[in-house]
Chains A and B, each alone.
Chain A
Amino acid sequence: MSETILRVENLVTHYGETKVLDGVSFDVEKGEIFVIIGGSGCGKSTLLKHMCGLLRPTSGSIYYGDRDITVMDEEELVTIQRAIGIALQSSGLFNSMTIGDNVAMPLREYGNVDPALIDAVVRMKLSLVGMATAQHLMPSELSGGMRKRAGLARAIALDPPVVYFDEPSAGLDPIMAAGLDDLILDLRRMLGTTFIIVTHELDSIRKIADRMLMLDRGKTVFLGTVDDVETQGSDRVRQFFDRRADEYITQRNI
């Protein structure tokens, strides 16, 4: 675990006049589970969208290996995006297709996969996320947790080296959330996948995070392991981990 797979340098971004990210820098190592935390509206999802190339920053760089995606043209960017899996907060499943077709879509469109094997890959990916029997169901027939897992199955369809996961356990029951944590750990162990996860769930962070980045109003307030929180964490991080409320939420009006 020493090879750096992704490096973010001094990322600054604005929504209109508002500065959303302010000089964020970190790197992610291969096979790591890297968690991004922070209060609502602190820029976590925005950061994730920048790392997937869905948004362009005002300044700063994001390197995959030695290639900076912030200066790439669309065509190059697409080749990078094909090598990453994205599971979004509300799953992003295509409503007009069955779950099986959703998972098969990346395989059919640009995977170097034998067409005869696609069905088998789909069933395997679905059984990895515990949904082997849901292949022919439509997304609207699934519960929230199943949709999240189906979204993950689609994200890992091509065995991408990097998977982004936005809020994997939000809205799930504790059993399902714990199952999803185990699944992430299993996939990392078996396929060597690097996970970059945005989450609020403290239990989940303690269980899966190798390292984490905490953002607060667009700035990095902590970067390190969960154990480091006790020794080197600022008040803000400890407050997050101790779940202590403050006046500050109402003041910020978010």
Chain B
Amino acid sequence: MTEARVTAPPRLGQEEGRQLITEVKARAGKGGDVVIDLGNTQEMDSLGGACLVDTALIVKRRNGAFRIENARGPVAEFIEMIEPALHPPPPRPKPEDSTFVEIGGKALRYVGEVGEFLALCFDAFYWTIIAPFEGRGFRWGIFVDEVLEMGVRAVRIVFLMNFLLGLIIAMLSAAQARGFGITIYVADLVMIGFARELAAIMTAVVVSARTGAAIAAEIATMKVQEEIDAMRGMGLSTSQFLVAPKVLALSVSLPCLMTIGLVAGILGGCVWGVFVLGFPPSVWLDETLGAAHLSDLMQGYLKTLFFAIAIALIGCHNGFRVTGGSRGVGLMTTRAVVMDIFVMICIDIVFAAIFYYVLGR
């Protein structure tokens, strides 16, 4: 093996270092050992040091040995400090190599997550419904705060969104119905649509984006800042303090919000019917009330109750699962909202199927 000896200049900075690298590449291009002589060097900065680190890497990649000699005084101390960096860098962590290991790992993670979620559901059920009757207090103070935040503060946006949706539905269906001369039935359509489906879905989507995200972000931040650990360490149940009040508060507020959404949606349709289609308000109202059936309303409310429980539990579940810091909080919040919407549609399909096949409506 050949050994190339390169003498470094008196001052080793970025420029000089680059020249040094070029010289090393030229002289030990096809491999071989390299010795850097720092005998003349009195001064060097971090970038000069980085050039030495880079040189060492180049030489070692070509299976040569790298040595620094004759460093003196402060330069020697500097070299001593950067010595660990002269060794090849640690490899980047590689993903699992076998596909089976990967699939198995994923499956186990999903099973684990489902287990955690079921445990959370059980805990929430216990602390919301059973524990208060066993004399283990329900946190009414927190519950009231949550209702204010989740329910009362959401009234305006829920009203506005449903009103606009009512307007849109009336607009779209009136265009189709006009050809058959049955525009009065737009009032029936809006009523049935909002009672069975639209008020529930629209309200739940708004609340999921508002409250579901807030729940996930709040709990995730608490976990990151060790507040959750502190609570558990004091022997307090996180389900009792965090989950149960939220589940109950949302179960109360969401149906109320849906009622407001329903009224707003019908009002939106009515505005179109009265002001654009030209029906007298009493005619439109009669038609609307004639189309109102209790069973349609029950379907909407029943769904809403499930949506509420799902939004609260999914928010809490994702919040508790956070790992890492601020990034993790963002990821879990996104995940909570995406899961909310997905689960909502699933619940909706199940209800639609039950009502269609079993009850024939």
Contacts and interface: CB of A to CB of B under 8 A. Distances in A.
B93 interface: yes
B235 interface: no
A95 B51 CA distance: 29
A190 B51 contact: no
Given A117-B51, A136-B90, A128 B82 contact: yes
Interface string B22-55: 0000000000000000000000011101110110
Please classify the interface of chain B as helix (H, G, I), strand (E, B), loop, or mixed, using the class held by over half of its residues.
helix
Given A123-B53, A124-B53, A132 B85 contact: yes
B83 A121 contact: no
Contacts of B82: 124, 127-128
A136 B47 contact: no
A186 interface: yes
B71 interface: no
Contact of B50 (A117, A130, A156, A186): A117
A251 interface: no
Interface in A157-199: 159, 186, 189-191
Contact of B77 (A95, A138, A186): A186
Nearest to A186: B81
Contacts of A148: none
Contacts of B89: 119, 123, 132, 135
Given A126-B85, A186-B77, A190-B77, A136 B93 contact: yes
Contacts of B45: 159, 191
B324 A124 contact: no
Given A96-B326, A96-B327, A120-B54, A127 B81 contact: yes
**Max chain A Cβ within 10 angstroms of own Cβ: one of B17, B45, B325, B328:** B325
Interface in B67-106: 74, 77-78, 81-85, 87, 89-90, 92-93
A112 B18 CA distance: 14
A213 to B, nearest CB: 29
Given A116-B54, A117-B51, A95 B90 contact: no
A96 B324 CA distance: 9
B325 A140 contact: yes
B329 to A, nearest CB: 9
A37 B78 CA distance: 30
A2 interface: no
A117 B57 CA distance: 11
Contacts of B87: 132
B330 to A, nearest CB: 8
A132 B83 CA distance: 10
Contacts of A73: none
A132 B78 contact: no
Contact of A95 (B54, B78, B84, B328): B328
A114 B18 contact: yes
B325 A159 contact: no
A49 to B, nearest CB: 20
B77 A191 contact: no
28 contacts: A96-B327, A113-B50, A117-B50, A119-B54, A119-B89, A120-B50, A120-B54, A121-B50, A121-B53, A123-B53, A124-B46, A127-B81, A127-B83, A128-B81, A130-B84, A132-B87, A132-B89, A133-B90, A135-B89, A135-B90, A136-B90, A140-B324, A140-B325, A156-B46, A159-B46, A159-B47, A186-B81, A190-B78
Given A120-B53, A140-B328, 13 more contacts: A95-B324, A95-B326, A117-B47, A117-B54, A120-B51, A121-B47, A124-B82, A132-B85, A132-B90, A156-B46, A159-B45, A186-B77, A190-B77
Please name the 9 residue pairs, one residue from A and one from B, whose CB atoms are nearest each other, closest first.
Answer: A95-B325, A127-B85, A140-B324, A132-B84, A127-B84, A120-B53, A96-B327, A120-B54, A121-B50
